[in-house]
Amino acid sequence: MKKDKVLLLFPDGVGIRNYLYSNVFKDFNGDLVLFHNFDSKTIEATKENTLITQDIVIPDYKESVEEKFLRELLCLSRLYNNNSKVNNPTLLSNWNWNQNSFSKKIFYKIIEILAPYFKSYHKILKLENKYQKAIRKNKFYNQVKNILQEAKPSVVFCSHQRALKAATIFSAATDLNIPTVTVIYSWDNLPKARMALRADNYLVWSDYMKKELNLYYPEIDKAKIHVTGTPQFEFYEDSSNIIDKENFYEQYNLDLHKKIICFSGDDQKTSPDDPSYLRDIAEEIIKADLQNKYQILFRRCPVDFSGRYDQVVKEFNGLIKEAPPLWYFSKSKEWNSIYPTMDDVKLLVSSAFYSDIVVNVGSTMAFDFGMFNKPCVFINYDQNNKKHTEWSVNTIYQFQHFRCMPDSSAVIWLNSKEEIIDKIVHRKDWDSIEKLKQWSNVVIGTKESQASLNISEVLKKIAKK
């Protein structure tokens, strides 16, 4: 009997963590083939911890001017169309309106002039067809097609719907009648009009995300959308991922007798003022003379290699303790060449388990900590002397994905520096974990404990068709 063969595409490290390190392929009785551009160190580490049986290098890809023009025109046209559906002007902030070089200014200005004329949906679909024709002209398409013909996978799986290379790979697979499956990467992705590829099947976290996919991409057949849950939250249900308390505290120089406030940093673009917020919390803890009862555990964003936190961590080194993400990376340190280790899964789970509360600017860490019934604080004020005048929390929390919050008290809103002790230490305005759970059920669904099994079953069915 012929074994199933799944060709795996992981455009970033989060995909490796969520799908290879989880139980999705744990009992897979077939061949797992990694289609990648990873360095040898990444491949070696990945094979050590997973059931990968083969790896194939993706050929070099260079996007043509025609492809790029159509892709960007599609994005802005869809953003206009999406805004007309939900009446949320912040959707247009997902477009970069400020270009640096003269050539880019000309290129994107033409797109900005044309996009309003292509925002009707029938014109968008025509652009989609032109884009599909354009990517098939690239020599990369024929190279990939030859590889797929030789590899003969039962199904092609991608953990991220935004990857440019995956668009051509999926098109080649479609032309060879090889079924394709992609995952909607995160809760905020669909309104952003960055669906690069076209798949036969789409895996979504929840019923809410399925409705969103139907809203923004009505051409996709509902039967092709599978509500499976997402495996990234299953790690919290496995007690073996919790590091022994004494080892954890000793490793990160934590005091066993103090409570932990976890500060979760975002990337620089999402939250450029994070170091100032971290400083605010440290100053208020000291001002209230609570440094003997509380300590701050700082986890930076894995793709943030800036030194922007160095000064505040150094200044408050007795209060702020760092737990750097345990990821490895290539020399380029590009976001798509940085990958987590298995140990980082345990670090993240243990940080949530031992911390009292998490503080950040609007991230999904609220749901991570909610798995252990821990509250989340969303920072909701701008810095008075802010250097990043183009950025504001007033814009952040208007983003479309926050509209799915059924009750605003699902999180604690930190509206000023002066509220830090009341909100973070005393949890003022925090009713219960139930409202966070309600929001979690909307966003990640109620299938998080069986997501791996659900995804595995979908892939098996598709592979055997």
Give the CATH number of the domain where residue 57 resides.
3.40.50.2000
| 141, 294, 463 from 320: Cα distances, Å | 50, 10, 50
Strands 155-158 and 4-9: parallel
Q: Are 336 and 431 within one domain?
A: yes
Q: Are 156 and 196 within one domain?
A: yes
Rounded distance between C-alpha atoms, residue 381 and residue 420, angstroms: 11
pLDDT at residue 179 is higher than 80: yes
- Which of 83, 114, 133 delimits the end of a domain? 133
Terminal-to-terminal C-alpha distance of the chain = 15
Q: Are 49 and 170 within one domain?
A: yes
Q: Are 224 and 243 within one domain?
A: no
> Considering its fold, how many domains does the chain have in total?
3
Calculate mean pLDDT across residues 262-269: 92
Q: Are 171 and 117 within one domain?
A: no
Q: Which domain covers residue 157, as residue numbers?
A: 4-62+138-230+448-463
Q: Are 262 and 170 within one domain?
A: no
Q: Are 359 and 386 within one domain?
A: yes
- Which of 110, 133, 156 delimits the end of a domain? 133
- Which of 91, 117, 133 delimits the end of a domain? 133
Prediction pTM value: 0.93
pLDDT at 1: 47
Q: Are 143 and 274 within one domain?
A: no
Interval 388-425: pLDDT, tens:
667 889 889 999 999 999 999 999 999 999 999 999 99
pLDDT at residue 41 is higher than 90: no
Q: At what angle do helices 139-151 and 164-175 cross, to 10 degrees?
A: 60
Q: Are 143 and 194 within one domain?
A: yes
Q: Are 94 and 196 within one domain?
A: no
Do residues 352 and 374 make contact, with C-beta atoms less than 8 angstroms apart? Answer: yes
pLDDT at 463: 84
